[in-house]
Structure 1
Amino acid sequence: MTLAQLAPRTQARKKRSRKKRGFFASLFRLCLMLGAAGIVAAGGLAAWLFYTPSGNEYRYLAADTLITTQHRIWAKYLIGQEELDKRVAAYQQSFDKMGQEADHHEIVRPAGSSTASDKPKELVSVEPISGKSYKGFVMTVSDPTKIRLGIPAAKGKGEKVTSMVKRYGAIAGVNAGGFADPNWKGNGFQPIGVVISRGKVLYQDLDKSKSTQIVGLDKSGKMIAGHYTLKQLEDLGIQEGVTFQPRIIVNGKGLVKNHADGWGIAPRTAMGQKADGSILFVVIDGRQPGYSIGADLYDVQKILLDRGAVIAANLDGGSSTVLVNGGEIVNNPSSQHGERYLPTAFLVFDDPDAASIPNVWQGLKPGDIDASKW
């Protein structure tokens, strides 16, 4: 091949080389521009988060939301460890105060049907609810005396609410009190505070002189929520109850002032009572982008007030939140491992007296239980 014949090929290769170098140079400039834009955007976001009122509000909301999860430690990167400790302490102080006011609500059960054509009120009804950041359900139980507290069947392990509903022969069930949960992988067997079923204290880890925040029902079906000692609960004739907080409604008024005091956004379970005695269970799904992120306590309080609740309290939420009706899970629990094993559940029965509920913690002290051992 002659030089004259090679020349066009050489020029073509040089042209392709120049194009390749130009492409990589353009790609490099683009990467530099994107990197610079990213730095500017990150700086702008940081400035907004830390130096504007709206940014600070969002930052604390995010921190409060993290506080309710197993990733609580991450909140310190948003507000600092000292501020995190203050935040947790402030919430506890606020929750304690919310449980102090004396409850004076009375229930007036409606009279029976006046005519043969009147249909009796359903014992259990479930309605879907939704808001800006959440989807969930409200279960109404028309007769509060049909509710009993279910507990696990075997020592050393909690039980799923679906299993409790089936084993006890209940109509429906909702998760109830909290429990020791090491690294959010606990076995669900060690409750926190007290567990009372059929008027008997089945488990307790506090001194008799100390009070606990209780959520439950007395013998007549009246809801009890707030700070009480074991002696006070005995005098009140408590029938079913667990420890949890905070109480969010008392004497018909809401105690959560606004969304900022709502303890972040999370899956929620709460219990309330209307003046006619009917019980409202609110179950909110969360931590599921595209479906439901969750609700704060102000959202839950509004749901209950809108439905006529005169007293209400928060129950265990997060990945424990579950509503079972007709043997099936109604909501979408957020736990990545599926429905959790729990120590307690509020169960609804056609005939609650027929249910046998032996004390699975009998003879056990809190120190006898390893909450992390399955």
Structure 2
Amino acid sequence: MKSGTLASQKSANKRKMTDRRRKKNRLLRILVSILMVMLVVVSLAGIWLFFTPSGNNMRFLMADTLITTQHRHWAKYVIGQEELDKRVAGYQAQFDQMGTEKDIHTIAINTNKNSNENTESKEENKEKPLIEIEGISGSGYRGYVLTVNDPTKIRLGVPAKSGKGEKVSSMVERTGAIAGVNGGGFADPNWKGNGFKPIGLVISQGQLYYDGLGSKLTTQIVGLDKQGKMIAGNYSIEELADLDIQEAVTFQPRIIVNGKGQIKSQKDGWGIAPRTAMGQREDGAILFVVIDGRQTTSIGASLYDVQQIMLDRGAVIAANLDGGSSTVLVSKGGEILNKPSSEYGERYLPTAFLVFEHPDEVDIPNIWKGLRAQDIDAGKK
């Protein structure tokens, strides 16, 4: 009996070992099959990306999207370093060209000040709220359009203290603004900048607050003159003074000039990213477009997308502002309406376009007074 029991146990153990081997072999075959399928898919994807027109378009779109992030160097793995350098230089040349056409647009609320027509226009504007906020969505993106019906109510906000930028929500709450949108770019070493060193020029309340042009004679400006007309394009400091510029930052490119879109197709839209842009209608109303990006609910938009949003709303001039992780729209009390893409939350910035009920009562001191651009450490915490 004992011998029979042992034999049965050995037989059972042998069957278990055989079953285990079969399961392992089956699992191994499944893993090998999955690996083979993945290799085939990767190979086919590689062939599509590198050897078909649609694949090449996708590859360059991926590269353009990376170029607008803090991981620009990764784009070389998609299109190569030489092509990356060529693409960046090509876009820069295109952006420069888009800044040269003379802007001749006029706004209705600033002409014929003593005429009945202008009086009627002003009465119409009085009936409108100062600001209107509209949620928008498109293919792969969500965002907002902030309409400011009286452009003379906009001022350029700057940080409260020297040495560090300030969150737009803080600027809005501190100054009593009813809305705020991020403004110009800034030096951002290793994407860890303190937000205090702007790129190019900063002009607030008609005064030159910051001059970082160095040896450059001109810069791409986005801003407003004293009558509320939007100014965007390539200008020198002297030309801006002649234009009675009131509020302005350096950024590019212009995307609409004299009512015409400057970006001809989606492939020239500089990738997909969070976006901020400023435009103006013929009636003087300013449009701020704010698009979220780098999120599952909103991947982002191209400059072509933003241009079309502006054109659909009657913009006769429009220009790009700092986007990416800086993109933010804030309402009264400092409430953030959109979803900034930075993993660290809202960024510290040097400038923001702020809207006030009574802008003449607002005090915005120059925190760069007495500082030279070359003496500011953009990475100091």
Q: Say whether the fold is shared (TM-score over 0.5).
A: yes
Name the structure 1 match of 2:300.
294
Measured against aligned partners, the alpha-carbon deviations of 1:9-40 in whole angstroms (never above 9, x if no partner) come to 22222111111111111111112111111111
Q: Could you tell me whether the CA contact under 8 Å between 2:180 and 2:329 is conserved in 1?
A: yes
Which residue of the other structure, out of 134, 141, 163, is the alignment partner of 1:134?
141
Call closer, same or farther: CA 1:260–1:371 in 2, change over 3 Å: same
Displacement after TM superposition at 1:113 (Å): 6.1
Q: Could you tell me whether the CA contact under 8 Å between 1:221 and 1:277 is conserved in 2?
A: yes
Q: Could you tell me whether the CA contact under 8 Å between 1:113 and 1:119 is conserved in 2?
A: no
Residue 310 (str. 1) matches residue 311 (str. 2): no
Residue 29 (str. 1) matches residue 36 (str. 2): no
In structure 2, what is the Cα distance between the partners aligned to 1:221 and 1:72? 37
In structure 1, what is the Cα distance between the partners aligned to 2:125 and 2:353? 29
Residue 200 (str. 1) matches residue 207 (str. 2): yes
Q: Secondary structure at the match of 2:172?
A: helix
Code of the aligned partner of 2:337: V
Q: Could you tell me whether the CA contact under 8 Å between 2:277 and 2:288 is conserved in 1?
A: yes
Q: Secondary structure at the match of 2:219?
A: strand
Structure 1 runs (4+) greater than 6 angstroms displaced? 116-119
TM-score (norm 2): 0.95
Q: Which runs of no fewer than 5 residues in structure 1 stay unpaired?
A: none
RMSD, matched Cα: 1.7
TM-score (norm 1): 0.97
Which residue of the other structure, out of 318, 322, 341, is the alignment partner of 1:334?
341
Name the structure 2 match of 1:257.
264
In structure 2, what is the Cα distance between the partners aligned to 1:26 and 1:117? 77
In structure 2, what is the Cα distance between the partners aligned to 1:78 and 1:11? 58
Q: How many matched pairs?
A: 373
Name the structure 1 match of 2:93.
93
Which residue of the other structure, out of 340, 353, 357, is the alignment partner of 2:360?
353
Measured against aligned partners, the alpha-carbon deviations of 1:104-162 in whole angstroms (never above 9, x if no partner) come to 00000274569x99971100110000001100000000000000100011110001111
Call closer, same or farther: CA 1:90–1:117 in 2, change over 3 Å: closer
Code of the aligned partner of 1:11: S
Name the structure 2 match of 1:230.
237
Q: Secondary structure at the match of 1:148?
A: strand
Matches for 1:74-89 after TM superposition, within 5 Å: 74-89=74-89
In structure 1, what is the Cα distance between the partners aligned to 2:354 and 2:194? 21
Name the structure 1 match of 2:176.
169
Hey, which of these two has a bigger chunk of helix by percent?
Answer: 2
Call closer, same or farther: CA 1:158–1:117 in 2, change over 3 Å: closer
Measured against aligned partners, the alpha-carbon deviations of 1:193-224 in whole angstroms (never above 9, x if no partner) come to 00001111110112587110000000100000
Displacement after TM superposition at 1:5 (Å): 3.0
Q: Could you tell me whether the CA contact under 8 Å between 1:208 and 1:231 is conserved in 2?
A: no
In structure 1, what is the Cα distance between the partners aligned to 2:332 and 2:155? 17
Name the structure 1 match of 2:108.
108
Q: Secondary structure at the match of 2:147?
A: strand
Q: Secondary structure at the match of 2:108?
A: coil
Name the structure 1 match of 2:68.
68
In structure 2, what is the Cα distance between the partners aligned to 1:305 and 1:121? 21
Residue 241 (str. 1) matches residue 248 (str. 2): yes
Identity value in percent? 64
In structure 1, what is the Cα distance between the partners aligned to 2:137 and 2:118? 32
Displacement after TM superposition at 1:2 (Å): 2.9
Code of the aligned partner of 1:295: A
Displacement after TM superposition at 1:6 (Å): 2.4
In structure 2, what is the Cα distance between the partners aligned to 1:354 and 1:117? 25
Q: Could you tell me whether the CA contact under 8 Å between 1:113 and 1:120 is conserved in 2?
A: no
Deviates more, 1:104-113 or 1:20-29: 104-113
In structure 2, what is the Cα distance between the partners aligned to 1:209 and 1:71? 27
In structure 2, what is the Cα distance between the partners aligned to 1:153 and 1:281? 24
Displacement after TM superposition at 1:245 (Å): 0.2
Q: Could you tell me whether the CA contact under 8 Å between 2:173 and 2:332 is conserved in 1?
A: no
In structure 1, what is the Cα distance between the partners aligned to 2:94 and 2:289? 22
Q: Secondary structure at the match of 1:174?
A: strand
Displacement after TM superposition at 1:4 (Å): 2.5
Measured against aligned partners, the alpha-carbon deviations of 1:324-368 in whole angstroms (never above 9, x if no partner) come to 112211111111111110000001011111011111000100111
Deviates more, 1:200-209 or 1:307-316: 200-209
Code of the aligned partner of 1:286: G
In structure 2, what is the Cα distance between the partners aligned to 1:14 and 1:161? 72
Name the structure 1 match of 2:278.
271
Name the structure 2 match of 1:366.
373
